[in-house]
Structure 1
């Protein structure tokens, strides 16, 4: 320990640079592991399914280093200078990030179809102001954002969380020190108390909120703050106990820390609840490595993580993180094809090279620039503001770009328009129908406010009944299903109006409402999220059974989403569906299964983004798929046969004997890779009305 003569406060060796350059080799190694984990996860997600925890390593490291830096200022100067701290952060982080955003905006103009410009432009602007995490959180619960694809700046959500931490954390420390002073206690103790309370509160919120709304929780600053707090608490502890473990114990802890991180990256998947209590694993692994430091024991990993390649990757990790994702997203647009293995390898190499170049040519020169570094903080703020405005100026035309709106479907359908073109011989056959009057836009293809209010998401674990047409005769239909069912609403409204039927809807996106069992999918099984769907399912079934007005129940959903070859994923079971059908039949309801419509296979151009992207890219004849790709083992069909329910299959409205089309009769069929445009769905009303009119009539 060294005593500061001016302040009388003891200073631990953590204040002193551990190397001549002030770089801690174990921290650089953690950065290398973190960025390589994220890079490999994004390039080969099935090979390293938990590589995303690299982000959490960065969060802990940031909490540790920033807190130590702020506390050091407090000890040395008796205060924390917020302007100086924020100015240093701006000089360190903004130049490279704003450069990447500017280059990305230009690349979007050149490579990306206009159908994606508004989404990408808005996300670039959100990233420039470091609120991309909240933009993505809003999209995750916005049904109208279902057609969005991964943008080239989506990874900026983590930078948004960090920047928000840099704004709030110094204020928390100052507040803790102030309250401690009022109580005649040590300022450091006050800081530690404030950090401890904030960390515990954030962790508890993370566990609860991840269980309730996992899609929002993933991007929330509040659910991630405890990870920064864990690093901050470690920094405060190490000030009092600079070397809590040494020798062989430190060496074992260091190996254990890296092993824990490796296990998390290999074992965690997209189905792992995150950042809930599960994030404790990478957080604790990171803490173990930092506590151990650079052990000198002969068998310690110090020699391994101190080698130049590891330190180099750690040194350029920030730039690598910035550049890798725009390359992964934009290169397929340039190639008009998905990435293959060698292209993925090349992107990894180029990402590291660009990370080095941005550090040498941008980060370091700006950070040490005499005019910025020696002047008042406002110079840094002015420069940062100018850079942000430049990015906004580049991106605003993207965000405000407009494309022709989706055609409004008239009450009386024109000949050869939409689905009618597939079955009318006078329209020139399905090929001519698919290529007629290209209209690769779905802008404005939105539900009415009344219909939108009826479409809830499974995260809410409830449902909303909407009576869209009062019964005018002896038939009232209940439309039941998930997000695919929501795209049929206007179609059913047209059919019901034509035939004089009543219509009620029970719609929950992400939940098929046909199984009382906890449900997984082809993507895996989430033991927490899987419990959400049975709750509204049971309530919907009970309400329909108890309502004598409802005579017919139509069940339809995105069945492919709930199908898996792995029983561990808890796929949708034909027996579970059949049990639901029989419950409704026993209540006197006529049950109809509306088979799910074909989904597009991976699109061969534009990186597999969406049908409109493919159509915008050029030759519409390439925007189709083999008819055989529309077939799959459908548990809904099996259940309909087993239970004696009627089955309606409108696949011939999408496909001929050879191909399924993505543009039919001048209308785009899909908004993304699986959801119908409402404009095309509305043209299916005549075929649907005929099928519903026939269904069940033989019984009479």
Structure 2
């Protein structure tokens, strides 16, 4: 986005207008305009422009002096980019403090720090594959990822040019062919990796620098080949520029969020941008050059950097303050962001960039850049510290760290309890644990619910006492500020595989020497019961084997990912049928989808995939206990809502449901004779509107996952339902084998 000059060292109004096209595409997309579903490609337009401008600047310096002054180059970038970027980061920190729920401050603060350091793209890439960050909403500085890519490009690119200049001087070669050859190697390598990563690692491919370098390189190649484009006849040059504009229009209207990105699809906007720039060399004042160089386009293009910086935090903060924005609210906020953008351009961006003293003293410009970075980091750390202070207060509150407990599910806690488990992690897939002996302490809590047992014994059908439900908590455990940390110990032990991995991780808990081996298999929806099932296994003398992988429903159907879930599931299936064969398997899962088609068709395929695996187990005498998915809060972030409405948590109640994955699980269980369906949802949502806090216990953490504290509080009703089912299933299996 920086730079105002073309590869000919003369200001080109059409490139300024092209920047306007890029930022308007992005604004239209973020505002939600339906005719611009591919407006996100405006960022790719910016990348090509930046690659063109910066490469042209560096190549001309090499041709003029035979060298590159890195000090001067970095000083120019610092004074051009950092003041406006840091101003917006500080403003975003203030707006977040005022209008965004406190529970999000630590995450946003970390994003601010990473943005100030121009590393936020890697932070976002890491978050995209962190299943425990599933409920992370859009960060107000998420758009800084593209600035981070450019800044990293500005560090790498001059060094490549310096290498080229050295080769030119050492071997008496021509400058542009050498630099062009180096650039082609980078473009081909990055483009190839972009295609591969987009297909195999789509969550991270969008953000990382390695999948984007080729886009900047395309612009660089146009700059290096500028002498050729200057000799093209005006007529063909005009046609090339028009073709480029058509490609950009097609990108904005024909692409969409479902398009794998960047990958090969990004060739459309990047080559289109390159065509507009290349054609503009010789098209002179003809059609496309005249259109892009019009005064309104130049005006928007001049402020495009500040406009890009301001529009997104204003949209995110407005959504946090007012709720989901309507189309016209989004459009209005995007349009109004021009006001602070114009002020930033006129009062900060342009004066600092044009100040003669900054040009004379590069070290002063670098010092200013460093100071701006410190301001941005400080804004982030202030938010982080604000959240930390709130957490310290929550942890210091009476009863905040105590686990609630009792002899039976009840509103009033009666006392703590604990249980230790040994964990044997088998990562290499050979079926032998390494005996690392890690331990975790868990304890029962209190809760209540309503019974609607399905294919379970009479004892297990006993539901909660609705008269004892307390919907006006005096305290909340865990405190909603700590909810995201209230997860089963299996995550800390490394017992849950990560997104994209196919290796099978087996953890052994409960009584490792127990005669009855129970396997816990599935995604995070079975994993959320890990601690309470470990405690139950310990008291019952079961050996508990955990096979879990976040984001992967255990089904023979292909779910909506890169294929790693299917591979992982097949490997688990083979191990369960082999030497690690358990006596009984307990499964659950969420609705992850199963290919294309209607909702019913996808659910049917998911259910059929369950049937395939469970039937195979049944044929070798292994019964399956199917635990229902938990009710989904939908768009309600329960713990965040509770943190903002502690005095009246009824604001955070939501309509009762079975959970998105329950129907497929129930249908599959009905088709497999050796499978038994069991639900705990009446205890999780005992009323028509699911209460967010029951018996002073917060029910939900991320998404539709229940807190570990609440899961462990269900020890008594879970024991009453599960143990008889397990005993009956094992006995039936033994009888059938005789």
| TM-score of the superposed pair, with normalisation by structure 2 | 0.84
Looking at structure 1, the residues matched to 601 and 337 of structure 2 have their Cα atoms a distance apart, in angstroms, of 35
For the residue of structure 1 that corresponds to 2:569, the secondary structure is helix
| Partners of 2:32 and 2:641 in 1: CA distance | 24
- Give the direction of change, closer, same or farther, for the CA distance of 1:257–1:434 in structure 2 (3 Å limit): farther
1:202-601 equivalences in 2 (<5 Å): 202-238=190-226, 240-243=227-230, 245-293=232-280, 300-335=287-322, 337-374=323-360, 376-400=361-385, 401-402=387-388, 403=391, 404-405=394-395, 407=401, 409=403, 415-416=410-411, 420-422=447-449, 429-430=468-469, 432=471, 437=476, 439-441=479-481, 442=483, 444-448=485-489, 451-515=492-556, 517-520=557-560, 529-547=561-579, 549-559=581-591, 566=598, 572-601=605-634
Residue in structure 2 matched with residue 668 of structure 1 by the alignment: 698
**RMSD of the TM alignment (CA)?**
2.9
Partner residue of 1:96?
A: 84
In structure 2, the gaps of 5 or more residues are 414-444, 451-462, 732-738
Change (3 A) 1:501 1:267: farther
Give distance in 1, aligned partners of 2:654 and 2:596. Answer: 22
Q: 2:177 aligns with which of 189, 193, 196?
A: 189
Map of 1:523 onto structure 2 = none
SS where residue 139 of structure 2 aligns? coil
Quick one: structure 1 residues 246 and 636, their matched pair in 2 at CA, closer, same or farther if it must change by over 3 Å? farther
Deviation at 1:334, TM superposition (A): 2.2
The answer as to whether partners of 2:153 and 2:213 remain within 8 angstroms in 1 is yes
Contact 2:466–2:686 (CA under 8 A) maintained in structure 1: no
With the length of structure 1 as denominator, give the TM-score of the two structures.
Answer: 0.88
Distance change in 2, residues 1:565/1:309 (3 Å): farther
Change (3 A) 1:310 1:684: farther
Distance in 1 of aligned mates of 2:281 and 2:311? 29
- The Cα shift of 1:567 comes to 6.8
Question: CA 1:425–1:611 in 2, change beyond 3 Å: closer, same or farther?
Answer: closer
Structure 1 stretch displaced more, 342-351 or 447-456: 447-456
Cross-structure match for 2:16: 28
CA contact 2:464–2:683 (8 Å) conserved in 1 = no
Most deviating of 387-396 and 80-89: 387-396
Distance verdict in 2 for CA 1:655–1:232, change over 3 Å: same
Deviation at 1:98, TM superposition (A): 0.4
**CA displacement, residues 245-304 of structure 1 (integer Å, 9 cap, x when unaligned):** 444433332232222233333343444332222222221121121121177599844444
Contact 2:502–2:567 under 8 Å retained in 1: yes
Gaps of 5+ in 1: 1-11, 521-528, 604-609
> Is the aligned partner of 1:133 residue 2:127?
no
8 Å contact from structure 1 (residues 63, 228) kept in 2: yes
Between 1:292-301 and 1:49-58, the stretch displaced more is 292-301
Q: 1:214 to 1:452 in 2, by over 3 A?
A: farther
Most deviating of 382-391 and 303-312 = 303-312
Deviations 1:100-125 (A, max 9, x none): 00001111221222211111111101
CA drift at 1:153: 0.9
Size of the aligned set, in residue pairs, is 666
How far is the alpha carbon of 1:208 from its aligned partner? 2.6
* 2:164 alignment partner in structure 1: 176
Offset, 1:69: 0.8
C-alpha distance in 2 between matches for 1:173 and 1:569: 55
Distance (whole Å) between structure 2 residues aligned to residue 60 and residue 339 of structure 1 = 32
